[in-house]
Amino acid sequence: MSKKVMFVDDSKTIREMLDFTLKGAGYETLQGEDGVDALQVLGDNKMDVIITDLNMPNMDGITLIKKLREHPVHRSTPILVLTTESQTEKKMEGKQAGATGWIVKPFTPDKLLATIDRVII
């Protein structure tokens, strides 16, 4: 049974690349454009991992993570944040909000899949 990944990013490019990479690796995917959209798309569908950008319109990644951690279905779902290398404090902020880990941008498909493997059972 294929694992399910949701990713949330306001950039269509990133979404398409994530989608391509993940589907190619046999994952099922859900996409969200921002926090609000993500919550709506997600509903009660349990994911195996949720990947989110931090800086997004409508609802940013930190708020999204906090909401997910309060959600009865998603509170124990691994969450990875997308950060850039310079943003050490962002990693920590994400972690404090409830993120499980992070993926540093830009990333290669291998790195992405390896990082997902680290948090997904």
Partner 1 sequence: MTDMDQFKRTYFEECGELLGDVESTLSEMRDAGATADGLNAVFRGVHTIKGGGGAFGFEDLVTFAHGYETLLDMLRDGRVDCTTEIVDLLLRANDIVAGLVGAAESGESLGEDYGADIKSKIEAAISGDAPSDAAASQVDVPQNASSADDGGIKTYIVEFIPNLDLLQNASEPLLLIRQLGSLGEIVSEVIADKVPSLDELNPEEVFLTWRFILKSDCSEEEIREVFEFVEDDCVLKISVDSEVVPEAAEDSEPEAVESTPAADVEPKVAQVKTAPPAGQAPTKAPAVSSMRVDLDKVDRMVNMVGELVITQAMIQEQLRNSTVEMSAELERGLEDLTHHTRELQESVMAIRAQPVKSVFARMPRLVRELSETLEKEVKIVTSGEDTEVDKTVVEQLGDPLMHMIRNSVDHGIEMPDDREAAGKPREGTVHLSAEHRSGRIVISIQDDGAGINRERVLGKAREKGLIGKNDVLSDEEIDNLIFHPGFSTAQTVSNVSGRGVGMDVVKQNIRNMGGRINIDNEPGQGTKFSLSLPLTLAVLDGMVIGVGEEIYILPLTNIIETLRPVEKDVNALVGCFDVLSIRGEYVPILYVRDVFGIKNAKQDITKSLVVLVETEDSKKIGLVVDEMLGQSQVVIKSLEANYQAIHGVSGATILGSGRVALILDVIGLSDLIGSQSDQKNLEKLVVTKSKSNDDIVAEDRTQVV
Q: Is the dihedral of CA 30, 35, 37, 41 positive or negative?
A: positive
Asked if residue 52 binds partner 1 (CB under 8 A), the reply is no
Binding residues among 15-44 for partner 1 as defined by CB under 8 A: 16-17, 20, 28, 30-31, 41, 43-44
Burial of 76 (0-12, 13-18, 19+ CB in 10 A): exposed
Asked if residue 98 binds partner 1 (CB under 8 A), the reply is yes
Residue 25 sits at the vertex; the CA angle it makes with 17 and 90, to the nearest 5 degrees, is: 50
**CA atoms within a 13 Å half-sphere pointing along the CA-CB vector of 90:** 18
Minimum CB distance to partner 1, residue 105 (Å)? 5
Q: Which of 58, 70, 84, 111 binds partner 1 (CB under 8 A)?
A: 84
- H or E element in which residue 31 lies: strand 28-32
Binding site for partner 1 (CB under 8 A): 1-2, 4, 10-14, 16-17, 20, 28, 30-31, 41, 43-46, 55-57, 69, 76-79, 84-86, 88, 92, 95, 98-102, 105-107, 118-121
